[in-house]
Amino acid sequence: MSILDQGRILVTGGAGFIGSALIWALNRRGIKDIVIADLLGSDGKWRNLVPLRFSYYIEADRLRHKLEENPDFLGPINFVFHLGACSNTTEKDASYLVENNFEYTRFLAHWAIDQGSRFLYASSAATYGDGKQGMDDRDEDLARLRPLNPYAYSKQLFDRYAQRHALFEDIVGFKYFNVFGPNEYHKAEMRSLVIKAYQQIRDSGSVRLFKSHHPDYPDGGQMRDFLYVKDAVAITIHLAEQDTFKGIFNVGSGIASSWIDLVRPVFESLKLPEAIEFMDMPEGIRSKYQYFTRAEISKLRESGYDPPPTPLDNAVRDYVTRYLVPDRRLGD
């Protein structure tokens, strides 16, 4: 029996992409005593919750208010997976991001520690910036990192706060890389290229990628560490189960693949000829564009997690044929 079976779990962002996938994975293990906090709004992510089993739902802003009034409002909580955040990398309101991504995380982390709950939260690989300082989760000099946008900075703020206040003696942070897969349908422009490519190919027969403006990378040859969401939640659960694991962990495949590598299996899944067009990258993002990301995952491997990542082409085909074409969610 896993220690996750031995008490109630709180998942913030539980209707979102990774959050709902995590609950799906927990449900598959028979775990149902789960409290979900999120802001359902009008973007349709409520549909992610329909197939899932959980014990209680509360809007995230109301949760904080209730816990401030009465820290015991939820009763005993053994695990807190804090995956809720504004994940829009183009959001320009830094004040909003600091309040939503930093202050809320800081409040919930201290509440969880005071309650004796295991606190696990989503940081982001975006905190590594352009990667010139490396992407190694063993590097404890977090101040060296240079985030490229307000979203990444808001995540970096909490990482550095947790380090300064020795919270990493008790908590775990996940630096998710380029995660894709079912249940991301509501994310608008923040959806992965897989679903965007699927829709473009379905509608026009071709897909559009950015041209490269870097001499070392051909058009479509920009590299990313892509990770299927089913692998991402398997890693998340693994790190939660071992209470000796603390600090920040990269959650990635450890493999860099190109955008062309990512979209080619979409054509194959749809049994259509490959047709890729290249367009100029907008001037506004050229100076902030990452040409290469790859997670250093030796720390994860040393934690005892040894399954290989789902091969990229297999993951894309699974996503397209089992979820996108039939318009299904995890658990449907």
Sign of the Cα torsion 171, 177, 181, 187 reads: positive
Distance CA 107, CA 98 (A): 12
Token code pair at residue 167:
């919270």
Gyration radius from the chain CA atoms: 19
Helix (H) or strand (E) run with residue 35 in it: strand 34-38
For the stretch 97-105, contacts whose Cβ atoms lie closer than 8 Å and that sit 24 or more positions apart, written own/partner, are: 97/150, 97/151, 97/153, 97/154, 98/154, 98/157, 100/154, 101/151, 101/154, 101/155, 101/157, 101/158, 102/154, 102/157, 102/158, 102/161, 104/60, 104/64, 105/158
Helix or strand holding residue 257 (H, E): strand 257-258
Cα 183 to Cα 60: distance, rounded to the nearest angstrom: 19
Euclidean distance between CA atoms 192 and 179, whole angstroms: 8
d(CA 168, CA 236): 16
Extract the tokens encoding 281. Answer: 């990258």
CA distance linking residue 290 with residue 283, whole number of Å: 14
Alpha-carbon span 151 to 21, nearest angstrom = 22
Contact between residue 176 and residue 232 where contact means Cβ atoms under 8 Å apart: yes
Which residues are designated catalytic? 151, 187
